[in-house]
Structures are given as structure tokens and as C-alpha cells.
Structure 1
Amino acid sequence: MKKIATANEMQALDAAAIEKAGIPALILMENASLGLLDVIKQIMNGDFRDQSYIIACGKGNNGGDGYALGRHLLNRGAKVTLLSTCPVSKLQGDARTNAEIYKNIGGIVTELKEANSLRSLPSADLIVDALLGTGITGPPRGLTAKVIDWINGRSEPVLAVDIPSGVEGDTGVAKGSAVIANWTVTMGLLKRGLVLSPGKDLAGEITVAIISLPPRIRAGTHIPFNLLEPEDVRAAFPRRDPAAHKGDCGKAFILAGSPGMTGAATLSARAALRIGAGLVKLGIPAGLNPILETKLTEVMTNPLAENDKGFICPEALPKIEELASWADVLAIGPGLSQHADTGETIKELLKKVQKPVVIDADGLNLLGDEEDFDGLLHAGTILTPHPGEFSRLCGIPIPEILANRVDLTAEKAEAWGTVIVLKGSPTIIADPGGEMYCNPTGNAALATGGSGDVLTGMILGLLAQGCPTVHAACVGVYLHGLAGDIAARDIGIAATIAGDIDHLIPETIRQVIPEA
């Protein structure tokens, strides 16, 4: 699991390395430039001689990394055109030191005064973006913005230093011009802006450069945001005892379905079985039972009392409580409807049930109708909203959620005492203790009706097998996204449907947890 830092957290780490470990800031910058050089060596097949580079430097430490890189490239026989948006005489600190060294060894700095001078530059093998770092907020302005636009208008491949210039380090937002990079070399740790959209799409292939931050220093700085990796999923995935029987593999109950929405119930129930749950019972309006008995062979369907519109009503509560008592875990919501009778049924059920429960889709919408819905939740609850459902729950506009998805998810997970899975690009998982997880898998192939119902079933099936809530959420989200990646490759992004995602669950398990 990799840590993902904010700009302030990274600054705190650098400061601790300087002040507590006595590592000069100039050494950290030198290590950063060597990390850049290593990646460029791989990109350019190991030989710098007679290759040409354009390095665009800003006035801060990001620019300082660029000056130091220019020195290394010159020393290895490369041709370097170094552009600066700031006169060397106005640079400060280590950036100024590295600029002066670069000049002292014969490097030429072209101090840009206007964008027109860029037109005469020759082609290069690689452009290096060292203009702006992770600390910027707001759009680039003036000459810097024009240089960014110039870079994007060139045909050469681009490598960004730390983060593509114009992308905010903490949000991934680009409020104006932003470099479109083929590669990004980020220093020390991943940055939030590199895993959040649109920054993650502008960064290209990302490499974390080792700048020799001491492990003791890193361990002393708490960074709560984590990137999920295959090893984390492999470690958390439940293993079956060779002598297990179906009851040992977990019993799941799903309350789902309404007229016209049998697909949601079908997808979630089948996904729970696909991921390994031993037994699944599905509670649906009585009028839908003949349909679902035909659609689902392995799932036990249970017809429930319905009102005159065909929606689950309070008269179904005794039977629902009986099914919940049988089950180890519950899911509420897929295709359930937002009818008031169903909402009253769900409210009463949540007051009585203290087992792990996944609430999705209409279950979330019905919760959002309750002023004090958090009183209906308990520590074993997992909420799986998309931004619209999350907005309805917390009363925050969708644009604000999208701009601050990580911290808002963590804030509400703590306030409501639940695990929250905020679906999107990327999906963010937060637990009540303040830890947050970013899922790296998935793509637009998952933007299809029923995809979320598959995810609900996957998380439920993992819970049924004994996964702790946050582990079930993380593993389910990762494998669900991986199924989307496989579908995009083998079927196509536009052609993928939710049933494809369900059918690919076994393949995701084989890829990540072959022994399972």
C-alpha cells in the first residue's frame, strides 16, 4: 500500500528530513534530479549522447530540480535547451544554487520574456516540464500559462517533474492551462493530484523517485491516504478452509427489486455468490418472484408483502426480520424503489438489525429522506453512494463534493461511524477511524446501468465470508474495477454491460489471488 501525500504533508516530511535528520535541502533536490535522470535513462534507452532536451523551469524548487537535471544531462553529453520563466538573478535558495552551477559548467539559460521567442526553438527528443510544483492553486497565469500551452502544442513527448504544471497538488483539478504529460516523476511519495481526476489523466505513467527520506522520518509523519495495490487485496481476500461447507462461507440476505428493476436484484445476488458467499437469499416484492426464480438458479428467492403498486411495504417486515436473522450480513437497496412504504419498512428494519449491512442505491435515497438518518446506522454499515447520492445524504452540492472528495468522504465516515465507498474516478473508501483508500482500477466501461449493483453484491459476499468492513469495501472495489479493466480490453469500453462485469469476477480473482 502506497501513501498519498498532500502538499503540506510532503513539506512536513521534507522539513523533518532537514531539521531532524540533518539532510540539507540541496541534497534532497540532488536526489530528485537523479531520480529524474534514472527515469529518462529508461525512456531514452540508456544513451544521452547527442540527444536533445528542452527543460522548462519555473522559479521554485520544481525549477531547481530542472536546473539540476540539466547539469546531469550536459555532463552526459546531451544537448540541453533550458528555458526559464524567471531571471536567474531573481531565483532564491537551492533553485538559485543549481541554476548558478548549471551556468558555471557551460549551460545556457534562456530567460523568457515573452512567448513569441518559443517559436524559434528547434525540435527535441524530450521536453521536461519543471515549471510549477504541487503547491499551486488556481490557474497558471501570464508567461507560465503560455509556456504550458506551447508545450501542449508540440509533438515531442513530455515528462513532468513532480506533477504536471497547472494541476493542483491536493485536488487534481486543473483550473486553467495544464501540461499533458507522457510521464510524471514525483518525489518521495505519490501526491493526491496524481490519483484524482483530471490530474491522473494528465500525468501519464507515474514513477515515484526515491529521494532518501529516512524511514524513521516517514514513520513519524501520519499520512492517512493510501493507494490500494494487488498485494493488499491478496492479503485481505478470505481463504476457504479445505473442509468448508456452504454454511461456513457466509449467509447473505439482499433486500432489493421493484417493478421494472429485477435486473438490479439479479446482478447483486449473483455477484455475492461469484465472489464466494456460500448462501444468498433475496427478498423481493411477491409479484416479482416468478421472474426472479427464472433468472436466478443458485439464489433462494423470497416473496415479500407488497402494496397495490408492487413495492415492498411494512407488512413485509416480520418476514424480512426472519430473513435478516438467518443471515450473517445484509444488503439493502438495489432497485428497491423510493416509495414511502418501502422507506418506512427500511427505517424500521435498520432500527432492529445490528449485523453488517451494505446500503446502496435506493437504500441510500430513502436514508436521505430522513433528517436524522445517521441514528439508523451502526459501525458495521457500509454506504456505497455515487456523488449524487452522497450529495443527497450530506446536503453538499455535487461540484463541491467532486472538488474535495477525499476529505469529505473521510469527514462523513467519521461523523456517521460507517465505512463509505464514494464511487467515481477514482473511487474513494474511508473508514470511521480516519484512514482513506484510493482505488487505482476501473475505467469508463463501468459507466453502465447495474454496475453499482454488482459492486454491492461483491462487497456483501466478502462481508459474508468474514472480511472486516473496510477490507470488504477495498477488496470489492478493487476487483470490481479490475473486472472493468478486463472488460474494456476484451469487450470494449462502450460495449461493456453490467453482466459482463459479473461474469469477469472469477477472472479477477484468478489474476490477483490465484491460490483462491
Structure 2
Amino acid sequence: MNDLPRELYRTEQSRELDRLAIEVYGIPAYTLMERAGRVAYRVLRRCWPQARRICIVCGGGNNAGDGYVVARFALRDGLTVRVLTLVDPERLQGAAGTAAKAYLELARTEPFTAEALGEAEVIVDALLGTGLDRPVEGRFAQAIAAINARHLPVLAVDIPSGIHGDTGQILGLAIGASVTPTFIALKQGLFTGAAPDCTGEVIFGDLEVPPAVLIGIEPAARRITAADVNPHLAPRQRTAHKGRFGHVLVVGGDRGMGGAVRLAAEAACRLGAGLVSAATRAEHIAPILAARPEIMCRAVAGPEDLEPLLARATVVVLGPGLGSSTWSQALFERCVAFDGPLVIDADGLNRLAQAPPRRGAWVLTPHPGEAGRLLGCSAAEVQADRFAAVAALQSRWGGVVVLKGAGSLIRSPALTWLCDRGNPGMASGGMGDVLSGVVGGLLAQGLNCEAAAVSGVWLHARAADQAAGDGARGLLATDLFEPLRRLANPK
């Protein structure tokens, strides 16, 4: 992945940054458009250096203007260029009108038809841009469908047409791009929701806008990077001992679900917790000990059996395989009264939705379905605006909330974080249990809830990327343990 800024912005903030660059810093709008087109064209040539036949599909507004600049550069490089329009270029105004006129002085355009895509080797999407806020319809929808049906490489200028710049949702249908160069500010919607299926590689161009433009505009979110995580993973002193690194208690594993407890507990071990205990059904003790003897296992028949374990625990991870029995309800009620940090996942979150306490020192890790139950809505409504959903979860439940999924979001009282690492291989059983154990292991070593959640999500995703190797299909939760150990010890 190319080097991207950490800061993410909403589309209205991006427009304000454009305005400041033009009105305060004196960069003409057409100069910015020329720079954007140049960046996009350079990306095109870098990605497909052998391509000679380029088709640019232009709509209206500034996104189309960028497309006309790309077309002009391609034409001057001797490529075979075809510009297909859905808006008459003579109708374009401002910088976009200037860009269209400059191209028309060199060549002609054609009205868009599917057949006109012809023998293109690469298609440039300059249809809609970031201003889209309603479902794509009519000729634009037909154009997007026709482009996608060609199954050709596509470069999307700034954002794939049809993607909402704030939420990452597909508004009806969207371009499936191979690469998306984006400019001045990273749009938060490029990295979550449905957008990761449509953007391909995201490449950033600052268009030589002074960094001072960003002063005073608080980012809407931040991408997690190694610089946010590695300072929490400093080498240990040679005199360190296990008592300094906390004691994680994992509670869960109703009948038939002991594996979830084992996964969470081992993940806490791999992240460096000093001691890890598992409180579970008696029948799970022998299999867990056989697989990982470092985990201290205790059979618990009811909440009274938890008392000595809670007295020694630094952190409780509640929920992996907890189930929905009266046994699980009793354990849940006792654990949410624990006076130390809590991580609640899986069935613990389903219990939480039914009996809502609120506190500060916990990390909740729902997937969209669990998030919907916590908010009293559907998973689809959560996915429609993941940023709004994670903010609502944190406001309602307190603490720190991790909304899992492609482009996982972490919301603390002060800030939203986004993780753009990870891969589809993580769509398999047990991955969430590993994440809850990772976060618990970091909490046990003294990280606060925000730092543990941010670091844990990033480490979990990076470990999955390393474990996936040449392919994501068939990735298992246990495959993450070795890369997690390596990542927990940065060089």
C-alpha cells in the first residue's frame, strides 16, 4: 500500500479545504484541477504502462474536469483516447469548463454508449465524484453498469462513482475500480462500508496544497498506523516478571463452545499478559489444557465459583461462547459488576442488549448484527452509516466501542479511529474471539481502553494479513497466533 495520511475527512470538510486552498492560499481552481488530472494520469501510467487505448467517461462538475485533464495528458503522450460524455462539455462551467475546452481544442468527445467503450484497455471513471448524496439513476446508472460489465481495469478519479464519500455505502450501484487516486484530503468513506470492494488501491495526492490548509479543521477520524501502536509495545526490562503484566480472566464457553474461550485466552497469552485464566464449563477443561497448558482453567457451575477468580483478575474478557442459558446469564450479571476493565464480545453483547448498564472502563466489540441489537435496529441500518452507528453505540453504552467489519471503526469519547488493514479471510469462525483476547491482553499490561482497542484491532488485522500469505480463503483464527507474537515485539 502506498503511504497515506492518517487523517480522514467528511466530504463537506474536503470541500472546505478546497475553498481555503483557492481563496486563502491563492491557488487557482483550475491549477488544482490540472494537478489532480496529472496525478491521476501518472497513476494510470504506473499501473498500466503497456496500455495504449484509454477511455475516459465524463459526467458533469469538477470530477468530469479532472477527467478531461487526464484525457489531454494521455492524448499528448500519443495514446489512443476516447472521451465519452454523459453531460455536454459545453455546459460545464468554472474550472471544469476550462478543462473541457482545453481538451476540445485537441480532439472531440462522443455521447456515452456501452458500445463506445469499444477496444479500451483502461477506463477512467470521471462521472460523479464526492458530491453524490442520492441513488444513482437513469443514464448514469446505465453507464456504471456498462463499465462494470466490461471487466476492464478502471481508474476512479477521487472516488468510485456511486460511493457515498462519508459512509462508504453504494448508492444504488457503483463503479468497481482497480485504483482510486484521491486528492487534498482522504475521504472517510473510502475505507469502510462497501467502499473497499469498489476502490481498489487508494492513492493520495496532496496537489501541492500547503499543510497549513489543514490547520483548524479537525479530522473526522484517523487511520491507525504502526506509529500509533508500536510505542505501546516497548521492549521489556530484563528484570520483568509475570506479576507486572496483569491477569486476564476469560469467561464463557457454554456447552459445545469451549473453543471460543480457548481462542480468546491464547490470544491474551500471545499478546503478553502475565497470567491468563479461563472460567468455563467443566467438560472444556481437559481439551483446553491439552491444547494450551499455559492457560489456567477453572470449572464454574455458577457465579459463586467466579468470586476467587475475579478477586485475582486484572481484566475480564466476557462473552466468547457464553451462550444464552441461565448459566450464562448468571455469569454475565456477576461479571458486569467487576470493578476493573472489561472486554465484552459475542454472547456477552447479546446479553448487554437485554439489560443495559453503562460504564466507562470497558471495550465493546460488536459486529454489525450485534451492533444492531445494541441500537435496536437492523444490521443493514448499521452498515448504511458505520460512522454514525459507532458514535451512537459509544454515546449510549460508554467506554470504547469497536465496530468490526471491513474498515473496522473504534470510537472513544474523544475520537473515531479506522483500521484499513485486514482481509476477507477473517470472515471465519473464532476471529472475534481472538480479537477480544488481544484487547484483554493489552489491557492487562496497563494500556487504557482506547489504546488497547486501537492497538488490538490493528495488530489483529495485521496478523491476519501476514497469516493470509498468498490467499485469504481457508484462513483460521489459530493461524493468527504466531504473527501476533511477532507483531507484539516490534523491532
**Would you say the 8 A contact 1:26–1:94 is kept in 2?**
yes
Q: Find the counterpart in structure 2 of residue 338 from structure 1.
A: 324
Which residue, out of 245, 260, 264, partners 1:249? 245
Q: Find the counterpart in structure 1 of residue 66 from structure 2.
A: 65
Which residue, out of 260, 263, 269, partners 2:259? 263
C-alpha deviation, 1:429, in angstroms: 1.1
Q: Distance in 2 between matches of 1:297 and 1:156?
A: 53
Indicate how the Cα distance of structure 1 residues 119 and 296 shifts in structure 2: closer, same or farther if over 3 A, else same. closer
Instruction: Tell me the secondary structure at the aligned position of residue 373 of structure 1.
Output: coil
C-alpha deviation, 1:131, in angstroms: 0.8
Q: Which moved more, 1:225-234 or 1:51-60?
A: 225-234
Q: Find the counterpart in structure 2 of residue 162 from structure 1.
A: 158
Does residue 347 (structure 1) correspond to residue 333 (structure 2)? The answer is: yes
Q: Distance in 1 between matches of 2:477 and 2:69?
A: 50
Compute the TM-score of the two structures, normalised by the length of structure 2: 0.92
Which amino acid is 2:46 matched to? Answer: Q
Instruction: Tell me the secondary structure at the aligned position of residue 134 of structure 1.
Output: helix
Indicate how the Cα distance of structure 1 residues 432 and 148 shifts in structure 2: closer, same or farther if over 3 A, else same. same
Which amino acid is 1:323 matched to? Answer: L
Q: Find the counterpart in structure 2 of residue 236 from structure 1.
A: 232
Indicate how the Cα distance of structure 1 residues 321 and 389 shifts in structure 2: closer, same or farther if over 3 A, else same. same
Indicate how the Cα distance of structure 1 residues 265 and 238 shifts in structure 2: closer, same or farther if over 3 A, else same. farther
Q: Distance in 2 between matches of 1:143 and 1:171?
A: 24
Indicate how the Cα distance of structure 1 residues 238 and 283 shifts in structure 2: closer, same or farther if over 3 A, else same. farther
Q: Distance in 2 between matches of 1:100 and 1:341?
A: 73
Which amino acid is 2:109 matched to? Answer: V
Q: Find the counterpart in structure 2 of residue 9 from structure 1.
A: 13
Q: Find the counterpart in structure 1 of residue 428 from structure 2.
A: 448
Q: Find the counterpart in structure 2 of residue 209 from structure 1.
A: 205
Q: Distance in 1 between matches of 2:370 and 2:132?
A: 31
Q: Alpha-carbon deviations, 1:56-85, whole Å to 9, x = none? A: 111111001111222223333333222221
**Would you say the 8 A contact 2:10–2:220 is kept in 1?**
no
Q: Find the counterpart in structure 1 of residue 304 from structure 2.
A: 315
Q: Find the counterpart in structure 1 of residue 344 from structure 2.
A: 359
Indicate how the Cα distance of structure 1 residues 361 and 149 shifts in structure 2: closer, same or farther if over 3 A, else same. closer
Which amino acid is 1:366 matched to? Answer: R
**Would you say the 8 A contact 2:179–2:201 is kept in 1?**
yes
Which amino acid is 1:438 matched to? Answer: L
Q: Find the counterpart in structure 2 of residue 479 from structure 1.
A: 459
Does residue 388 (structure 1) correspond to residue 388 (structure 2)? The answer is: no
Q: Alpha-carbon deviations, 1:255-288, whole Å to 9, x = none? A: 2222222111111111100111111122224554
Q: Find the counterpart in structure 1 of residue 88 from structure 2.
A: 87
Q: Which moved more, 1:423-432 or 1:295-304?
A: 295-304
Q: Find the counterpart in structure 1 of residue 311 from structure 2.
A: 325
Bigger-Rg structure (1/2) = 1
C-alpha deviation, 1:410, in angstroms: 1.8
Indicate how the Cα distance of structure 1 residues 230 and 39 shifts in structure 2: closer, same or farther if over 3 A, else same. same
Q: Find the counterpart in structure 1 of residue 380 from structure 2.
A: 399
**Would you say the 8 A contact 2:168–2:195 is kept in 1?**
yes
Q: Distance in 2 between matches of 1:248 and 1:481?
A: 27
Q: Distance in 1 between matches of 2:281 and 2:138?
A: 62
Moved over 6 A (4+): none
Alignment of 1:181-192 (within 5 A): 181-192=177-188
Instruction: Tell me the secondary structure at the aligned position of residue 258 of structure 1.
Output: coil
Q: Find the counterpart in structure 1 of residue 103 from structure 2.
A: 102
Indicate how the Cα distance of structure 1 residues 501 and 99 shifts in structure 2: closer, same or farther if over 3 A, else same. same
**Would you say the 8 A contact 2:193–2:385 is kept in 1?**
no
**Would you say the 8 A contact 2:161–2:175 is kept in 1?**
yes
C-alpha deviation, 1:403, in angstroms: 0.7
**Would you say the 8 A contact 1:267–1:502 is kept in 2?**
no
Which amino acid is 2:304 matched to? Answer: E
**Would you say the 8 A contact 2:84–2:116 is kept in 1?**
no
Compute the TM-score of the two structures, normalised by the length of structure 1: 0.88
**Would you say the 8 A contact 1:430–1:437 is kept in 2?**
yes
Q: Find the counterpart in structure 2 of residue 22 from structure 1.
A: 26
Which amino acid is 1:497 matched to? Answer: L
Q: Distance in 1 between matches of 2:208 and 2:392?
A: 33
Q: Distance in 2 between matches of 1:70 and 1:288?
A: 65
Q: Find the counterpart in structure 2 of residue 309 from structure 1.
A: none
Indicate how the Cα distance of structure 1 residues 334 and 99 shifts in structure 2: closer, same or farther if over 3 A, else same. same
Q: Distance in 1 between matches of 2:83 and 2:116?
A: 14
Q: Distance in 1 between matches of 2:484 and 2:117?
A: 52
Q: Distance in 2 between matches of 1:121 and 1:195?
A: 29
Which amino acid is 1:315 matched to? Answer: E
**Would you say the 8 A contact 2:374–2:393 is kept in 1?**
no
**Would you say the 8 A contact 1:35–1:210 is kept in 2?**
no
Instruction: Tell me the secondary structure at the aligned position of residue 469 of structure 2.
Output: helix
C-alpha deviation, 1:219, in angstroms: 2.5
CA RMSD across the alignment: 2.3
Indicate how the Cα distance of structure 1 residues 86 and 478 shifts in structure 2: closer, same or farther if over 3 A, else same. same
Which amino acid is 2:325 matched to? Answer: H
Gaps of 5+ in 1: 307-312
Q: Alpha-carbon deviations, 1:157-208, whole Å to 9, x = none? A: 2211011112222222223332221111111222233212422111112111
Q: Distance in 2 between matches of 1:291 and 1:127?
A: 55
Q: Distance in 1 between matches of 2:19 and 2:26?
A: 10
Aligned residues: 487
Q: Find the counterpart in structure 2 of residue 310 from structure 1.
A: none
C-alpha deviation, 1:133, in angstroms: 0.4
C-alpha deviation, 1:16, in angstroms: 2.2
Which amino acid is 2:418 matched to? Answer: C
Q: Distance in 1 between matches of 2:490 and 2:283?
A: 41
Q: Distance in 1 between matches of 2:259 and 2:352?
A: 22
**Would you say the 8 A contact 2:123–2:154 is kept in 1?**
yes
Q: Find the counterpart in structure 1 of residue 474 from structure 2.
A: 495
C-alpha deviation, 1:344, in angstroms: 3.9
Q: Distance in 1 between matches of 2:324 and 2:164?
A: 39
Which residue, out of 380, 403, 410, partners 1:429? 410
Which amino acid is 1:37 matched to? Answer: Y
Q: Alpha-carbon deviations, 1:16-57, whole Å to 9, x = none? A: 222332332222212211211221232244x99xx3322111
C-alpha deviation, 1:6, in angstroms: 1.9
Indicate how the Cα distance of structure 1 residues 287 and 147 shifts in structure 2: closer, same or farther if over 3 A, else same. closer
Alignment of 1:117-196 (within 5 A): 118-120=114-116, 122-154=118-150, 156-196=152-192
Which residue, out of 271, 280, 298, partners 2:276? 280
Q: Find the counterpart in structure 2 of residue 410 from structure 1.
A: 391
